[in-house]
Amino acid sequence: MSAIVHEAHGHTEHAHHEENFVSKYIFSQDHKMISKQYLITAVFMGTVGMLLSVFFRIQLAWPGEPSDFIHFFLGDRWAPEGILREDMFLGLVTIHGTIMVFFLLTGGLSGTFSNLLIPYQIGARDMASGFMNMISYWLFFLSSIIMLASLFVESGPAMGGWTVYPPLSALPQFISGSGLGMDLWLTSMTLFIASSLMGSLNYISTVLNLRTKGMNMNRLPLTVWTFFITAIVGLLTFPVLLSAALLLVMDRSLGTSFYLSDVIAGSDMMTNHGGSPILFEHLFWFLGHPEVYLVLMPSLGITSEIIATNTRKPIFGYKAMVGSTLAIGFLSCVVWAHHMFVTGMNPFLGSVFVFTTLLIAIPSAVKVFNYLTTLWKGTIIYTPGLMFSIGLVSSFITGGITGIILADSSLDITVHDTMFVVAHFHVVMGLSAVFGMYAGIYHWFPKFFGKLMNVRLGYIHFWITLVCAYGVFIPMHFMGISGAPRRYYDYSVYEVFDHETFLKIENLNLIISLFAIIGSLGQLVFIFNFFYSIFKGQKAPQNPWKSTTLEWTTPVEHIHGNWPGELPEVHRWPYDLSKPGWDVDYVMQTEPLREGELVDGGINEH
Amino acid sequence: MATKLILLLVIVLAVVAVSQLMKLYEISSTLKNRNEYEISRSQNRINGFLMLLFMVVFFISMFVLMVKIGWNGLGDSASMHGDSLDVLMRLNMWIVFIVFFVTNFLLFYFAYKYQHKPGAKAYFYTHSSKLEFLWTAIPASALLVMVIWGLSVWNDITSPASADAEVIEIYSKQFDWTVRYAGKDNKLAKFDYKVTSDRNLLGLVNSQTLEYAIDKMKNDPLLGIDAINNKLNDKTLVFNAEERKKMTETLHRNEEIYRLLVQLSNRFDKSLDAQSWDDIIVAGPAEKMYLCVDQEYEINFRSKDVIHSALIPAFRLQMNTVPGQTTRFKFTPTVTTKTEREKRKDPKYNYYLVCNKICGSSHYKMYMEIEVLEKDEYKAVMKAFQMGGELLSPKDQELLKGVFGESLPKAHTFKAMFEASAPAPAAETTTTEVADSTAVAETI
């Protein structure tokens, strides 16, 4: 139905479509504008999240030493005499995690790239529902504002860690951030979930209904496949987080006992009985774990596309890539309790989750080896996008393998909740997703803004980021292996009973913080390049990377309905790169098949 | 202020400088007729080389960290299950590091080797069922070994404790640990959070603690039901809506707890009193937790307020403490503190229990020291905790001196503690009378 509307729209109206400032730039229903809105919001939120991490990294490297830098931002209330307060330390950790996971990586990847690329790459004039798409962005915007506002509340932002386990997050008697700060956190997340659900519904229906002629599911670029599967997983799991959040709201405000039982809060003997905080952990991680893959899968899709284009070689094992994404998507929903091996849950249940968790390693390994084979005998062109993609493959390997240790319930006893875990998930999901996002921004910048980003600054940015990212997180693994718990304001207690470990931790903390600070400064190169290129960048040609997919057949300038005339018709899969028998090393998807030519790289033949 | 202005100025100048440089660079590239999307041969070469260089530096730093910090857990374990866990950790680490080095090597080497060279054409290679089967099967079989091995260790660790295991309790609250031993009768007494009070930190139930808790709930000068009722009905006091709401809520809660306590008390069997009086309580961080070498323990974990996690790295032991439920972990310490200190050549080294689950602002300060003793020392310590150190035989006192130094420990039984903290009988009424009304409102 909407397809027909769009068709009619595209043909008849786009020439004399009047738009004012508000409908074009603010309440836009155009997927391209919405994706730009998502992108810029995410870049802003990412910058804030990074700044917060610099504050607590300074505290960890130089515990108890006054810092003008912290004082400048946090003032007398949260950093009296330049020394960060211990409750604010936890507040920073919490909001850093929340912003990075949800606002940068979920909004920045799914929101930005699904919006930009799904209609472009499947040959649709716009999303299935432009209106819902607009609402989705503005809910995201609103939730970002509320999350940022919670930083300015008198009693502080939420301080229970991004996982906000009750009872700590349920009652303000336990920590000041569990008052108004936590209310705002829950409100913000509720809006975020609504936004994400609307987005997911839109992505799914667009992919299913609005593919252009010839674009069957076997010919979708891998980006679209990953966005599609991501949206399905998000649609199935985000509502569970919503229910977890709502039950927490009830426990906090209406006196219910879903998560509370036999609790004494300061001098208050609570009457709540029969609930269990472990229930919250189950509900939270039912989203929380798939969430990791919600941010990872779009990055993997982006990387597949960029590696294929810039090695001038078809992605190896298209079907295996799709299959492994499906497998990861499915398995990600049945592994959540591996976050809870030491909560005292039934050991047999633990065994089941060990098994399902380790299963994920198989499709992940398939992906890695397929990437390696794609690079093999390719002709690699070092665009910044490609370099970040290689960074992604590396961090996906490095972070993935430590997951094998964490997935083992017995080994988890020693490393659970230590810095080893922090290092693991930062590498496998943080770095991989951020690298994927950077790769996507460099690669599709021409489609966002019609301009090209500066390549040299891109190189500088990549090398600083790669070196500093590993400089931060590799030592962090060793810190965790030495027994350093996470979310510690400082490690001075260790000095009392284990001097050797204390020294190790202190030295590593210093190294990590130095890399973190340099790495953060390195991101300024990107931010500068980003905004500079929007306004002053070199004007992009229609298909700068000589890619095969449909988005590169659209005009450089954004137009309503994406294609000026008829929608393009697709005749082949997206990876006819360096195909024997062709003079050029890429064949657009719109190019009709020659007689006797190998169809779709032979992937459908048996 | 001046420094801030200068800082701002420097940033602005830096941005201007970079943007000017960029303009220059762009003008020069247009002169050379170069486009941002055309990656030159030298750019390819440099970045390809840097990929290789990065790999070398990356691998070397990894080795340095492995040698300097250790990649293999936390040094030798000091518990029975810890040894088998360490073997498993070593196996996993070997596999992980081999995969890490091999795949990262292939990645960066390919990135270097297959950089674009003029005239080269990529190999059109779309799929190979054989290869894909290979790299599904290899990880799958490696994982199978790891799963089976891992789960057999897991089953050992989580199997029920044997009959001669000593049951002790670790109780957590913001921000310290308390340990309870079963005492003479070898039985941990029953607890209920509602009888928790200043005199009964762990909420142990017996007829006296019940009586005390009921009395406190009713007559406490600050938070008792009567006190709050009086405040609320006192026409001479003015409260704002917020204060009044809070007081009413506390009142309702306390009334419900009071009702439940009375019910509990009516049904309580007085003959069980003795079970709780002999329990031994040791509160950290001022006091240490004592364990006996080669003795199996089953620890029951409880929490008063939020989720904490008891982590004892040396024993490879970790378990969350969850309010409202009891969690368990069994283990056997195998090395005494003395031996461990000699082994590490660190006379100050101690085993320790730290909190490993975010639990509030002083989370990082929540710890307790643990001392593992020889069997005869441990027996002497427990005896001293039961009856007070002075009453022990000279031989036992000698052993105690090895643990506590010159000052002999007092009795740590629940009875001793409960009685020592008894309020002076007259004090109660006077405090009720002089209690400052604003102070009451604030506390509530």
Radius of gyration of chain B (CA): 33
In this prediction, residue B435 carries a pLDDT of: 43
Establish if A280 belongs to a structural domain. no
Q: Residues A219-260: pLDDT tens digits?
A: 999 999 999 999 999 999 999 999 999 999 999 999 899 999
Beta bridge partners of B354: B311, B367
Q: Residue A334 pLDDT more than 70?
A: yes
How far is residue A273's CA from residue B194's CA, in Å, rounded to a whole number? Answer: 11
What are A285's two structure tokens? Answer: 């991680």
In this prediction, residues A181-199 reach a mean pLDDT of: 95
**CB within 8 Å of A152: residues ≥ 6 apart:** none
What pLDDT score does B33 carry?
Answer: 59
B23: closest chain A residue by CA: A536
Average the pLDDT over A165-173 and give the result: 93
DSSP per-residue codes, A21-85 = HIIIIIS---HHHHHHHHHHHHHHHHHHHHHHHHHHHHHHHSTT---HHHHHHHHHHHSGGGPPP
Minimum CA–CA partner of B202 in chain A: A264
List the single range of A167-171, B421-425, B440-444 with lowest mean pLDDT. B440-444
Residue in A with minimal Cα distance to B45: A382
Q: How far apart are CA A92 and CA A97, in angstroms?
A: 8
**Cβ–Cβ contacts within 10 Å for residue A191, how many?**
20
Higher pLDDT, A9 or A508: A508
* Model pLDDT, residue A13: 44
The answer to whether position A275 is within a domain reads no
pLDDT for residue B226 is more than 60: yes
Q: In chain A, what is the straight-line distance between the N-terminal and C-terminal CA atoms, in Å?
A: 37
**Ramachandran angles phi, psi of A505, nearest 5°:** -60, -45
- pLDDT tens column, A102-127: 999 998 899 999 999 999 999 999 99
**pLDDT computed for residue B426 by the predictor:** 53
CA distance B284 to chain A (A): 13
Cα B148 to Cα A351, B98, B151, distances in angstroms: 10, 20, 5
Average pLDDT over residues A391-417: 94
Kindly report the nearest CA distance between residue B393 and chain A, in angstroms.
Answer: 32
Per-residue pLDDT at A500: 87
Task: State the pLDDT at residue A18.
Answer: 65
Contacts A470 to B, Cβ<8 Å: 58
Task: Give the pairing type, strands B289-292 and B367-373.
Answer: parallel
Q: Per-residue DSSP letters for B197-249?
A: BTTBTT-B--HHHHHHHHHHHHH-TTTSHHHHHHHHH-TT----HHHHHHHHH
Query: Chain B residue closest to A417 (CA)?
Result: B356
Give the three-class secondary structure for A15: helix
Q: In terms of Cα–Cα distance, which of B51, B74, B427 is closest to A388?
A: B51
What is residue A42's predicted lDDT score, i.e. its pLDDT? Answer: 95
HEC assignment per residue over A114-129: HHHHHHHHHCCCCCCC
Note the pLDDT of residue B74: 81
Domain membership flag for residue A576: yes
Nearest by CB: A379 against B120, B313, B369 = B120
Domain boundaries defined on chain B: 197-275+426-444, 280-419
Least confident of A3-12, A81-90, A183-192: A3-12
Q: pLDDT at position B2, please?
A: 62
Interface residue of B13, B88, B108, B135 to substitute, partner A, most A CBs within 10 Å? B135
Number of domains chain A is built from: 1
**Residue A370 exposed, middle or buried by CB count within 10 Å (0-12, 13-18, 19+):** buried
Residue A275 has pLDDT above 80, yes or no: yes
Residue of A nearest to B7 (CA): A69
SS3 at position B39: coil
CB-based contact B322 A402, cutoff 8 Å: no
Q: How many CB atoms lie within 10 A of CB A416?
A: 27
**Chain-chain contact of A351 with B4 (C-beta, under 8 angstroms):** no
| A548 touches B: beta carbon within 8 Å | no
* Domain contains A20: no
CATH of span B280-419: 2.60.40.420
- Alpha-carbon A114 to chain mean position: 12
Closest to A465 (Cα-Cα) out of A508, A416, A523, A509: A523
The confidence score (pLDDT) of residue B205 equals: 93
Token pair 């050379």: residue: B32
The arithmetic mean of pLDDT across residues A296-325, rounded, is 94
- Alpha carbon of B364 to those of A257, A426, A495, B38, B368: distances in Å? 29, 22, 13, 53, 12
B114: nearest CB among A379, A411, A418: A379
Q: What's the burial of B24, exposed, middle or buried (CB within 10 Å: 0-12/13-18/19+)? A: exposed
Those residues whose C-beta lies under 8 Å from the C-beta of residue B400, and which sit 6 or more positions away, are: B377, B380, B381, B384, B389, B392, B408, B409
Is the pLDDT reported for residue B438 higher than 60?
Answer: no
Beta strands at B308-312 and B317-321: parallel, antiparallel or unpaired:
antiparallel
Question: Mean pLDDT over residues B73-96, rounded?
Answer: 90
Mean pLDDT of A6-35: 70
| CA–CA dist A120, A570 (Å, integer) | 13
- CA distances to A121, A305, B39 from A311, rounded to whole Å, are 20, 10, 13
Distance from CA of A235 to the nearest CA of B (A): 29
Tell me, yes or no, if A379 comes closer than 8 A to chain B by beta carbon: yes
In angstroms, what CA-CA distances link A70 with A80, A413, A442?
Answer: 10, 35, 32
CA distance A72 to chain B (A): 9
Q: What is the mean pLDDT of residues B216-235?
A: 90
User: Looking at the predicted structure, is the pLDDT value of residue B125 above 50?
Assistant: yes
- Rg of chain A over Cα atoms, rounded to whole angstroms, equals 24
CATH assignment of the domain containing A527: 1.20.210.10
Residue A32 lies in a domain: yes
Residue A84 has pLDDT above 90, yes or no: yes
* Contact map slice: B 270-329 vs A, CB within 8 A: 301, 304-307, 309, 311, 313, 316-320, 322-328
> What pLDDT digit, counting tens, does each position of B246-284 carry?
899 999 999 999 999 999 999 998 888 888 999 999 997
Q: How confident is the model at residue A1 (pLDDT cuts 50, 70, 90)?
A: very low
Euclidean distance between CA atoms A163 and A587, whole angstroms: 47
| Nearest residue in B to A541, CA atom | B37
Q: What is the pTM of this model?
A: 0.92
pLDDT at B1: 56
Reply yes or no on whether the pLDDT at A88 is more than 90: yes
pLDDT at A465: 95
CA contacts within 13 A on the Cβ side of B407:
3
Shortest alpha-carbon distance between residue A175 and chain B (Å): 6
Across the interface, whether the CB atoms of A261 and B69 are under 8 A apart is answered no
Lowest-confidence range among A89-98, A273-282, B67-76, B186-195? B67-76
- Asked whether the beta carbons of residue A417 and residue B357 sit closer than 8 angstroms, the reply is yes
With a cut of 50, say whether residue B31 has pLDDT above it.
Answer: yes
Domain of A584 in residue numbering reads as 2-13+25-265+287-602
The phi and psi torsions of A317 (rounded to 5 degrees) equal: 70, 60
Q: Is A367 helix (H, G, I), strand (E, B) or coil?
A: helix
Give the separation between CA A295 and CA A286, rounded to whole angstroms: 15
Chosen for mutation from A165, A339, A379 (greatest number of chain B CBs closer than 10 Å) is A379
**Residue-wise pLDDT tens digits, B351-386:** 999 999 999 999 999 999 999 999 999 999 999 999
8 A C-beta contact, residue A237 and residue A329: no
| Residue A147 to residue A73: CA distance in whole angstroms | 17
Per CB-CB distance under 8 Å, the chain A contacts of B72 are: 481
CA torsion B195→B198→B204→B205, rounded to 10°?
-40
The model's confidence at residue B441, banded by pLDDT at 50, 70 and 90, is very low
CA dist., res. B106 & res. B7, Å (int): 45
Question: A12 pLDDT exceeds 80?
Answer: no
Mean pLDDT of chain B: 88
Three-class secondary structure of residue B328 per DSSP: strand
* A323 class by beta-carbon count within 10 Å (0-12 exposed, 13-18 middle, 19+ buried): middle
A540 interaction partners in chain B (CB closer than 8 Å) = 37
Q: What pLDDT does A548 receive?
A: 93
Confidence of residue A4 (pLDDT cuts 50, 70, 90): very low
**What's the average model confidence in pLDDT over A156-160?**
94
Kindly state the DSSP code that residue B115 receives in the 8-state scheme.
Answer: B
Cβ contact (<8 Å) for A397 and B104? yes
b/e for A216-241, b at 16 or more Cβ within 10 A? Answer: eeebbbbbbbbbbbbbbbbbebbebb
Q: In chain A, count H helices and then E strands.
A: 19, 4
Choose the weakest-confidence range: A136-140, B3-7, B168-172: B3-7
Q: Which two tokens stand for residue A265?
A: 């809060």
Asked if A379's CB is within 8 angstroms of B117's CB, the reply is: yes
Calculate the alpha carbon distances from A25 to A15, A32, A134, B239 in Å: 19, 11, 11, 52
